[in-house]
Copies of this chain bind each other. A is one copy, B any other.
């Protein structure tokens, strides 16, 4: 059975303006690879209602899972929760379970649960809360979309909360052969090799070190025996 597929949607003007370097994509990609969910596409859109709704609908329809990051805080530019509700035509309002979490949290910290903070309790009907052990305000899963914070420490904590609830597949295994040869010199035999192992993915990633060209040949697949056989073949063809 093929692995489940996934897409990620990163929401935030600060990424597109170059102010902030996104860190969540790389983290999620690694985590999904470990649990055998194939990340097939990532989109980054701005804090724009129409853009978010269109992307959520397209990705939700195209993949088994969608993971979003960003736009679930208390300020006016945090519109993700309402956009997800709109994408699925779900009703959204302050929900009692989320409000109770926030109330307890702010009671402990001696801060006021004001209207702005209460926005973080806006959760669509039918959604399941995602635990946030870092700063309490929860994420949520609605249909096949998992809505998480953009702050990297909170994003990571939410990924750790939601991934164990999903059914993964065979973890993608990866082996690398490092060659101190230019890609142009190995491309032909590498193409032959890739064609001989159609169930594996074979990538070539060039680098330059101290003026010499090299490349990392990365072979990926979920069948450990097949991968081992492929690497033995590859090493025999590119000895040394």
Pair B44/A16 contact, Cβ less than 8 Å: no
Bound form: Cα–Cα A119–B191 in Å:
13
Whether A14 touches B205, Cβ cut-off 8 Å, given contacts A22-B26, A42-B44, is: yes
Pair A16/B45 contact, Cβ less than 8 Å: no
How many residues of chain A have a CB within 8 Å of chain B? 66
Q: Which of A110-118, A124-132, A160-168, A231-239 contacts B (4 or more CB under 8 A)?
A: A110-118
Pair B33/A26 contact, Cβ less than 8 Å: no
Pair A206/B76 contact, Cβ less than 8 Å: no
Give the dominant DSSP class at A's interface: mixed
Q: Which residues of B contact A142 (CB under 8 A)?
A: none
Copies of this chain in the oligomer: 2
Pair B187/A220 contact, Cβ less than 8 Å: no
Pair B16/A75 contact, Cβ less than 8 Å: no
Give the Cβ gap from A133 to chain B, nearest Cβ, in Å: 14
Pair A203/B46 contact, Cβ less than 8 Å: no
Bound form: Cα–Cα A43–B40 in Å:
11
Bound form: Cα–Cα A184–B51 in Å:
26
B29, B73, B182, B207: the one within 8 Å of A183 (CB): B73
Pair A18/B14 contact, Cβ less than 8 Å: no
B43, B116, B183: the one within 8 Å of A187 (CB): B116
Across the two chains, which residue of chain B brings its CB closest to A113? B184
Is A218 interfacial (CB-CB < 8 Å)? yes
Is A108 interfacial (CB-CB < 8 Å)? no
Q: Which of A167-222 contact B (CB under 8 A)?
A: 172, 174, 182-188, 190-191, 194-195, 201-208, 218, 220
Whether A205 touches B20, Cβ cut-off 8 Å, given contacts A46-B40, A75-B191, is: yes
Give the Cβ gap from A46 to chain B, nearest Cβ, in Å: 6
Across the two chains, which residue of chain B brings its CB closest to A176? B19
Whether A26 touches B21, Cβ cut-off 8 Å, given contacts A184-B117, A204-B73, is: yes
Bound form: Cα–Cα A42–B16 in Å:
8
Binding site for B on A (CB under 8 A): 10, 13-22, 25-33, 39-47, 51, 73-77, 111, 114-117, 119, 151, 153, 172, 174, 182-188, 190-191, 194-195, 201-208, 218, 220
Q: List 30 A-B contacts (CB under 8 A).
A: A10-B42, A14-B203, A14-B205, A15-B25, A16-B29, A16-B42, A17-B29, A17-B33, A18-B26, A18-B29, A18-B30, A18-B31, A18-B39, A21-B26, A22-B26, A40-B45, A40-B46, A40-B51, A41-B46, A43-B44, A47-B203, A75-B190, A75-B204, A76-B190, A76-B195, A77-B203, A114-B184, A114-B188, A116-B186, A151-B207
